């Protein structure tokens, strides 16, 4: 996602992440940053950059802060990537559908001076879109009416199109093919929780909870059992459901399997053999989302393709591969999330 920061505006490209809150970018001086291709933001060149004091309400509202001369943040992500730096306020600027620039003055953000992990050199940070206080969504406030959407362009797209985000009324998802599911309010409020009832491989349905459990047990154990996260690549499923899924996919693709060179994914095939990938459907409460091979398999080398799901004993996550070529809309006032199959490279 592209936006500009500072005065004069300095363009950055960052990961739009619905699974975290803080907006941050790598900043000069940066002795221990990961390598990035675009130039780093230099706060000394901006007339609107202001460090936040340690005893300010903004600093106290953040988790994992410390105090040096000013408020310091420290964030860590599920894949052990991390960022540490100064908490500041700054003017953030976006393009809009009308061509007019939209500015958000005094936006809380992090100026990262110590960052590392699995970040791509193409980008310079993270734009937190979660439900917490300091996320971009919360800081935009009533101006967007709790509505936003994005359409993730497949990595392999020959076009150089980047994924688009829309806010406010232009973030509404409507028309033919839209399905919607409730957003469940749970703690921590950073995450957007959905209810996954099961998965189908072709016509074979795999339910997350067996029919012998009582409806009360079902309700308490299933409501809000998965988060949707644009910042996580793979989809993480409860171990029982993952085992059923892997078994069903093995049956549907009866070819010899191969090892994943990265040793992360457990069901892989050689790309030298042509095979048909079955449609996998995610059954959310009230919304069946069909996933094709783009969403369900990932190339881990030139000759190996693997099922892009992994088992998890912790939080279940609907990751960004599963969301490719879907227009995904959030309506936080109505507490609904909508999916619409879309060619995201052509979506404006």
Task: List the catalytic residues.
Answer: 17, 229
- Specify burial of residue 166 (Cβ count, 10 A radius: 0-12, 13-18, 19+): buried
Distance between CA atoms of residues 242 and 263, nearest Å: 17
Contact 163, 1 (CB under 8 A): yes
Contact 58, 108 (CB under 8 A): yes
The one-character DSSP state at 281 is E
The one-character DSSP state at 40 is P
Contact 61, 145 (CB under 8 A): no
Distance between CA atoms of residues 208 and 204, nearest Å: 13
The one-character DSSP state at 216 is H
- Please provide residue 144's backbone torsions phi and psi, each rounded to the nearest 5 degrees: -110, 0
- Please provide residue 135's backbone torsions phi and psi, each rounded to the nearest 5 degrees: -70, 160
Residue with tokens 């202001």: 50
Distance between CA atoms of residues 181 and 344, nearest Å: 21
Contact 173, 203 (CB under 8 A): no
Angle ∠(67,71,76) on CA atoms, nearest 5: 90
Distance between CA atoms of residues 26 and 11, nearest Å: 12
Q: Bridge-partner residues for 41, per DSSP?
A: 27
Looking at 14-94, which runs of residues are DSSP E strands?
15-17, 24-26, 50-51, 65-67, 71-76, 82-94
271 to each of 73, 265, 274, 293, 296, how far by Cα in Å? Answer: 44, 15, 7, 13, 15
């Amino acid at each position: 996602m592209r936006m500009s920061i500072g005065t004069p505006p300095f363009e950055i490209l960052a990961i739009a992440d619905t699974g975290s809150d803080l907006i941050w970018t790598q900043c000069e001086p940066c002795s221990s940053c990961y390598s990035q291709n675009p130039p780093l933001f230099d706060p000394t060149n901006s007339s609107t950059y202001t460090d936040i004091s340690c005893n300010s309400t903004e600093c106290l509202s953040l988790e994992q802060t410390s105090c040096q001369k000013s408020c310091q943040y420290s964030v860590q992500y599920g894949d052990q990537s991390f960022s540490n730096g100064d908490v500041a306020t700054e003017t953030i600027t976006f393009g809009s559908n009308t061509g007019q620039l939209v500015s958000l003055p005094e936006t809380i953000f992090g100026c990262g001076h110590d960052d590392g992990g699995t970040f791509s050199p193409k980008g310079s940070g993270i734009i937190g879109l979660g439900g917490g206080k300091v996320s971009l969504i919360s800081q935009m406030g009533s101006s967007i009416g709790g509505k936003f959407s994005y359409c993730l362009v497949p990595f392999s797209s020959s076009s150089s199109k980047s994924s688009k985000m829309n806010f406010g009324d232009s973030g509404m998802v409507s028309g033919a093919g839209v399905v919607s599911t409730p957003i469940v309010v749970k703690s921590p409020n950073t995450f957007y929780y959905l209810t996954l009832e099961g998965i189908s491989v072709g016509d074979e349905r795999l339910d997350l909870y067996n029919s012998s459990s009582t409806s009360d047990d079902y309700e308490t154990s299933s409501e809000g059992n998965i988060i949707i996260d644009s910042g996580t690549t793979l989809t993480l499923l409860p171990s029982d459901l993952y085992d059923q899924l892997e078994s069903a996919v093995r049956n549907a693709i009866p070819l010899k399997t191969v090892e994943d060179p990265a040793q992360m994914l457990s069901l892989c095939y050689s790309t030298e053999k042509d095979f048909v990938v079955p449609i996998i459907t995610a059954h959310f409460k009230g919304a069946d989302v069909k996933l094709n091979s783009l969403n369900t398999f990932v190339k881990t080398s030139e000759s190996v393709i693997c099922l892009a799901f992994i088992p998890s004993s912790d939080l279940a996550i609907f990751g960004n591969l599963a969301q490719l070529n879907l227009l995904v809309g959030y309506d936080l006032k109505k507490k609904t999330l909508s999916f619409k199959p879309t060619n995201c490279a052509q979506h404006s």
